[in-house]
A and B are shown apart, each in its own frame.
Chain A
Amino acid sequence: MKNIVLLSSAHLHADAYIHELSTVSDARIVGVYDNDAARAEVAGTRYGIPVFPALDAALDASDAAIICSENIHHEMFALEAIKAGKHVLCEKPLATTPEAALRMINAADAANVLLMTAFPCRFSPAYQQFKHLLNSGAIGDIRALRGTNQGMCPGGWFVQKELSGGGAVTDHTVHVTDLLRDLTGSEVESVYCELGNGLLHGDFEDTGVVTLEFEKDVFATLDASWSRPKSFTTWGNVTLYAVGTKGTLEMDMFNQEGMLYSDLKGKVGVQNWGSSIDRGMVAAFVDSLLSGTLHEKAASGTDGLRAVEVVEAAYASTIALQPAKVNHRT
């Protein structure tokens, strides 16, 4: 039985991770610690789990940690957990700078613990089938890709750069970038991004259209915009479209849904009935803890770093107004 502690519930994905963890045998959640004591109390009540008053005590009671803090605190929590010899599953983006991500990776390597980046889209059955079809040559050789990860603006700390590191481009570039790297088996060489704040008019970007050039001869665009309005039927989407030499392949990851037209709420919404991608990811994390090596589908710390480097280049391109080379750290 593996004991897992939740380090902060600032990120709304904590809900899903805790829920899915309860369905996995061989692991249990031992409690929550948060740098925000009031938030820790709320999470303790909400999930029905103990609240640790101190980080040391939380780590002492566990084999591994799931970090769902504000982005800016990922590094601090990860380094503390690693120092205590605990394995880590960290919410994306892995860090707000490539340097911070690299420090996390190096610390985990030195301490011989696992560092996994929370990229649950890899565990989507639709994505797995998409990847299988591409790899089996169903549409020939891959030539170009287009992706979207559009969503509603989550608000709160996500739009406070001192806590998040950036707006929509920070939040939503990394998922699709990770899938594209996984599909092409190639690193991103250069990036161009157009971004703006035309939706919410805040001091953070809420739109972002990113063009990626891969080391392999493939290009792609992805849309990271928070362009689903509050009145939209669901939180957002993850889509992929591949052009191959023999045809095209399209994926709409969360399209297994019905519509609910509710007079009670005065709202039209979707009822998703697809497989939980979070369940697959949490199960892979527990599997990794049991085997001592990262699950084959899991995203490593380095995968997390590569996505953060793409975000860095995206922002750089908006200053240069030309594509920016991605600076790959080793």
Chain B
Amino acid sequence: MNGPTLKVAIIGAGVMGQQHARSWTQVPYATVTTICDFNLDAATKLATEFHAVATASIDSVLASDVDVVSVCIPTCFHTDTAVKVLESGKHLLLEKPMALTVEDCHTIEAAAALSGKLLTIGQVVRFFPEYENAKRAVDAGAVGTPAVVRCRRGGIFPLWGTWFHDVNKSGGAIYDVGIHEIDWLLWLFGPVERVYARSLTESLGEDCKQDFALVTLRHKSGVISHMEACWADPVVSYNAFEIAGDGGLLTHDSRNNATLFISTAEKQEAMSPLADADEPYNKQVAAFAKSIVDGTPLVVTGADGRAAIAVAAAALESSRTRKVVTL
């Protein structure tokens, strides 16, 4: 392709950083040039895979000529890093959840507005084909007018991270897992009027790496949504939803979607592969690259990220106070 080449830096070489790096290499006009992680070994390992430069210094990324940065670091560090990236004049793909507070989201959005650079949030569920299809189907009236919705995500506690069990760093399962459902529910059924939630977040910590949240949302449209965020299963993770309306019912359960199943003495595993171009993380990065290069509207804006955080914050507050929270 003749045209601009996007130089990409990844900040955070953990599980999500690796995913972003792989997805950026799928964009024909983008090159991953820099991998940054305070753990230089982790940065170097990933940089070697992508023939990029490794660094432990965020400042060196800010001072470099990269065009776009994927930020994949613990949620508690999102705001400071996001503001710096935007102030240094780079486009930003910020992993979800956007931040731990609505105020922080406003700060990040203001930095984007001031810099004139694009900001998107990694609400990747909008790019999952089954969730995208539900949006299309509901908008087309496939279930009539929606009335009651159930959705569920998660299972295994993210033991690959060292910070998820600290609610002040991750926000717990509602922020880290439930945020996907919240964004999707807002996308399909509009703003939320009130929230009631119960969760195990209060006992989450070093000694209790388990969280589970049951959240009831009442949308302004009248739709009732029930969502479940799970970090409580030692083995099985899955996602599911159902949308009941006055014209029908749409259901999804990832456990029923296998197109492959392997069974050996060592393991049993179901698989459901997609073409590269249809992989959600690839689609997310491709859509952002397109917005940068030719001005296509963002699929997920900072305001979208903030709206999801507002609901997550209300859910956590409701869970703490045992009171209904009106937004």
Q: Which residues of A contact B (CB under 8 A)?
A: 143-144, 146, 148, 190, 192, 194-196, 198-201, 206-207, 209, 211, 213, 219-221, 223, 225, 227-229, 231-232, 243, 245-248, 321-323
Contacts and interface: CB of A to CB of B under 8 A. Distances in A.
Given A146-B214, A223-B226, A229-B249, A209 B232 contact: no
Interface of B: 145-148, 150, 155, 194, 196, 198, 200, 210, 212, 214, 216, 218, 222-224, 226, 228, 230, 232-236, 242, 244-249, 322-324, 326
Given A192-B196, A194-B218, A199-B245, 19 more contacts: A144-B232, A146-B228, A148-B150, A194-B216, A194-B224, A198-B146, A207-B148, A207-B224, A209-B216, A211-B196, A219-B214, A221-B198, A221-B214, A221-B216, A227-B242, A229-B249, A247-B234, A248-B236, A321-B194
A227 B234 contact: no
A198 B147 contact: yes
Contact of B234 (A196, A220, A246, A323): A246
A198 B322 CA distance: 27
Contact of B322 (A209, A213, A220, A246): A213
B323 A209 contact: no
Q: Is chain A's interface secondary structure helix, strand, loop, or mixed overall? A: strand
A225 B249 CA distance: 13
B232 A243 contact: yes
Contacts of A245: 210
B286 to A, nearest CB: 36
Contacts of B226: 209, 221, 223
Contact of A207 (B147, B230, B235): B147
Nearest to B211: A243
A146 B154 CA distance: 15
Contacts of B247: 229
Given A198-B246, A322-B324, A144 B212 contact: yes
Contact of B148 (A146, A198, A213, A219): A198
Contacts of B145: 198
Contact of B246 (A200, A209, A232): A200
